[in-house]
């Protein structure tokens, strides 16, 4: 069966017989500008180029090194690592604010960029600072183009993997792309997604709850977001990597 990504990105063929190929599939949730934490996590899991890495989006905002995270992920892609990069709502904010800045133009009576204001309220200031610029229009365009090339979801025979979740109130939840980036509360109807379990990020939950969703079969979802930026809060503040084949959860405490 062909694994699928959303229509915004290139389709990828993934073998269902991963163990026979000695391949691991790793899912990594919201990174939020914690480049050092991501680097340390990757050293822990040591992915080979046979492995498949699925990023759940929200590479940017809140943490200090958003550009560094994007560079790391983009470089891995260029180096030939097998990767599926999904988009998060923070990347959507970033791209919308970027293009709106050009629409507004310049001059003495330039209007305020309200999209940038909304983005800044969700950690965008830290992202812009990581690029070393004050003007959003000075961010190199290839970063925005890369974001536009990311997908909204990925699925194989067993899992549907998405940044935030799905709108299961619709007959066809694949039609609601906004929900894939933004939804918080949803009840899975696996009959609408081919009997698959949902893996997502976006909503921070405790380490204990993540383990519960992995270990207990009655859960029809796994939320991997542990709020890497929530240092000092008990049970939070880690970046995770989840192995689809072995069900191993690797935990890396945040270190920027």
In a domain, 17, yes or no: no
In a domain, 69, yes or no: yes
What beta strand segments (E) does the chain contain? 4-5, 25-28, 52-55, 82-85, 153-155, 159-162, 197-200, 221-223, 238-243, 249-253
In a domain, 205, yes or no: yes
Query: If you count them, how many residues does the chain have?
Result: 256
Smallest Cα–Cα separation from 202: which of 145, 122, 132?
Answer: 122
- The partner residues of 239 in beta bridges, in order of sequence, read 252
In a domain, 66, yes or no: yes
What beta strand segments (E) does 104-150 contain? none
- pLDDT tens digits, 109-151: 567 899 999 999 999 999 999 999 999 999 999 999 999 999 9
CB burial class (10 A; 0-12, 13-18, 19+) of residue 219?
Answer: middle
Query: What is residue 9's predicted lDDT score, i.e. its pLDDT?
Result: 37
In a domain, 18, yes or no: no
pLDDT score of 17 more than 80? no
Number of domains in the chain: 1
Which range marks the domain in which residue 231 is found?
A: 4-11+23-253
In the chain, what percentage of residues exceed pLDDT 90?
86
**Whole-number average pLDDT of the chain:** 91
Which region among 16-25, 99-108, 152-161 has the lowest average model confidence (pLDDT)?
A: 16-25
In a domain, 76, yes or no: yes
**Contact criterion met (CB below 8 Å) for 32 and 56:** no
The CATH number for 35's domain is 3.60.21.10
In a domain, 148, yes or no: yes
pTM to 2 decimal places: 0.90
Q: What mean pLDDT is predicted for residues 199-218?
A: 97
Q: What mean pLDDT is predicted for residues 26-36?
A: 98
In a domain, 189, yes or no: yes
> Residue 121: phi, psi to the nearest 5?
-70, -15
């Amino acid at each position: 069966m062909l694994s699928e990504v959303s229509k915004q990105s290139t389709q990828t063929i993934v073998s269902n017989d991963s163990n026979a190929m000695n391949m691991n599939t790793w899912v990594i949730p919201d990174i939020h500008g914690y480049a050092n934490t991501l680097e340390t996590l990757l050293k822990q899991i040591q992915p080979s180029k046979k492995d498949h890495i699925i990023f759940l989006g929200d590479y940017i905002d809140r943490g200090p090194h958003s550009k560094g995270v994007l560079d790391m992920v983009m470089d891995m892609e260029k180096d030939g690592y097998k990767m599926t990069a999904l988009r998060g709502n923070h990347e959507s904010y970033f791209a919308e604010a970027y293009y709106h800045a050009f629409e507004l133009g310049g001059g003495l009576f330039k209007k305020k960029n309200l999209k940038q204001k909304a983005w800044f309220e969700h950690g965008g200031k830290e992202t812009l600072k990581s690029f070393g610029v004050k003007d959003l229009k000075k961010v190199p365009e290839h970063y925005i183009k890369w974001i536009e090339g990311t997908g909204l979801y990925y699925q194989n025979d067993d899992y549907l993997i998405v940044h935030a979740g799905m709108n299961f109130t619709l007959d066809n939840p694949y039609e609601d792309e906004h929900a894939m980036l933004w939804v918080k509360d949803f009840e899975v109807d696996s009959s609408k997604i081919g009997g698959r379990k949902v893996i997502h990020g976006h909503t921070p939950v405790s380490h204990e709850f993540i383990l519960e969703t992995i270990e207990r079969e009655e859960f029809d979802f796994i939320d991997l977001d542990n709020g890497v930026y929530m240092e000092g809060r008990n049970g939070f503040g880690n970046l995770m990597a989840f192995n689809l084949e072995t069900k191993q959860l690797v935990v890396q405490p945040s270190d920027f």
